Amino acid sequence: MNIWYVSAHDQPRGRSARTYDFASELVQLGHDVTFFTNSFCHWTHTDFLSPSEPWRVEDVDGIRVVWLRTFPYKDNGWRRGMNMLSNVWRVLQAARRLSDVPDVVVGPSVPLGTGWAASRIARSRDAAFVYEVRDVWPIALVDNGTLSRWSPVYSGFRAVEKYLYREADRISAAMPLLRDHVAESGGDPALVEWMPNGVNLERFAGQPPYDGGCPDRITILYIGGFGFAHDVISIVRAAAILDREDPEAYRFVIIGSGPKKQECLGAGARLSNIEFRDSVPKSEIPNLQSGADVLVAAVTDSAAYRFGLNLNKIYDYFASGRPTVFSGNAPNDPIREAGAGITVPPEQPDVLADAFRMLRRASPEDRREMGSRGRAWVEENFDMRRLGKGMEELMSRAISNRRGNAVVSPSPHTQPAGQTVGGR
């Protein structure tokens, strides 16, 4: 197959690895892959293309990457809107310059305009269109309070979303419970397949096995975003509770960036047990996690998670073989399903602090066993080599849909949307 991935924020070897990981696996399976993406980085706000260079084409690990120069921004204001629009323009402009014809084009739900551009490229080349839903825009923007349901922006986004569900030859859903929403949006729920985030376990090769840590002091690590749906402030407040109790017993390392980081920096400014760092490339995560005893993920008590939990960091955490604490409320719970740590309700720092106390008081053997269960679970269910084959088959079904051929049922190694691996 000749596969075109259209993206905005994912970059090869970047801070968000899903597109790159799938593209790499598909290349290994013998397919030609083109990856369109912004040269402007969403996390560092830097651009390596010159103003006179609208795009650049180069080979990265066997993937043909089309770097697109887009409008710069630093926050969620009008400049980010201009960045989204310039991405659409550049994608369409660059795609016209490529002489080959794709068999399938993949476009994302964030930003919706990029998904729309991918659908237009697919139809202009008579290719199959796979709509990849990683966040359910625009309703997620309403759920986290950044957009009103009654605004014209929401109405415009919603119209584009419905259009993309109707246009899709297959819908790749990163969360497991999307089918009802697709049906309500005028799409065909039978086209939805759950294609979760996964882990390239080769990144973790050579890491020393976790010894369970020492009984007197544990290091707790958070790596991820400081977005509106993330609840990093509760981690900081839990650290404050434990700092007052015993400043030597817990060490917190918080890594990442986003609009809510300043609030967290302010809350943690006078704490002796916490350290903040900037976001890092995906390649650095395994080494950072190998220095921790406990890994933590926290999300707000938001309706955005009603479609299921879809956090890259959890699978990376599991791959490190460390116990995980999850603070959140979602219909699927990988931590509980894997037996890999502790789950607590969201936005309750005192309860979160209790979870950290429990893991500190646990024996090194118990902590090591929790981490081992998480590692085994992710190896069985979320290894990118396995998911890459699932994506290959999903794309084949999309092409069959487009050409009017019989549609093959989903393969056994990818669960249909609406189910969860290791369900209760």
Assess whether pLDDT exceeds 70 at residue 382.
Answer: yes
Longest Cα–Cα distance in the chain: 66
Do both 211 and 226 map to the same domain?
A: yes
CATH value at residue 68: 3.40.50.2000
For the segment 109-128, the average pLDDT, to the nearest whole number, is 97
Q: Determine the Cα–Cα distance for residues 304 and 315; give it in Å rounded to an integer.
A: 20
Q: Where do we find the tokens 């093959």?
A: 408
Assess whether pLDDT exceeds 80 at residue 408.
Answer: no
**Local structure of residue 15 (DSSP, 8 states):** S
pLDDT of residue 45: 86
Do both 131 and 71 map to the same domain?
A: yes
Instruction: Dump pLDDT digits (tens) for 321-376.
Output: 999 999 999 999 999 999 999 999 999 999 999 999 999 999 999 999 999 999 99
**For helices 232-245 and 349-361, angle between their N-to-C axes, nearest 10 degrees:** 60
Q: Determine the Cα–Cα distance for residues 364 and 215; give it in Å rounded to an integer.
A: 7
Do both 87 and 61 map to the same domain?
A: yes
Number of independent structural domains in the chain: 2
Do both 278 and 264 map to the same domain?
A: yes
**Residue 418: inside a domain:** no
Mark 61-78 as b/e (b = at least 16 C-beta within 10 Å): eebbbbbbbbbbbeeeee
Do both 139 and 251 map to the same domain?
A: no
Do both 150 and 230 map to the same domain?
A: no
pLDDT of residue 284: 92
Assess whether pLDDT exceeds 90 at residue 115.
Answer: yes
Assess whether pLDDT exceeds 70 at residue 110.
Answer: yes
Q: Mean pLDDT lowest for which of 73-87, 131-145, 165-179, 396-410?
A: 396-410
Backbone phi, then psi, for 277, in 5-degree steps? Answer: -135, 160
Do both 66 and 151 map to the same domain?
A: yes
**Residue 135: inside a domain:** yes
pLDDT of residue 283: 86
**Alpha-carbon distances, residue 309 vs 141, 234, 254 (angstroms):** 16, 19, 21
Do both 136 and 249 map to the same domain?
A: no
Instruction: Dump pLDDT digits (tens) for 388-400.
Output: 999 999 999 999 9
Do both 128 and 142 map to the same domain?
A: yes
Instruction: Dump pLDDT digits (tens) for 19-75.
Output: 999 999 999 999 999 999 999 998 888 999 999 999 999 999 999 999 999 999 988
Give the predicted TM-score (pTM) of the model: 0.90
Name the residue range of residue 149's domain.
2-198+384-403
Do both 118 and 227 map to the same domain?
A: no
Res. 310 pLDDT band, cuts 50 70 90: confident
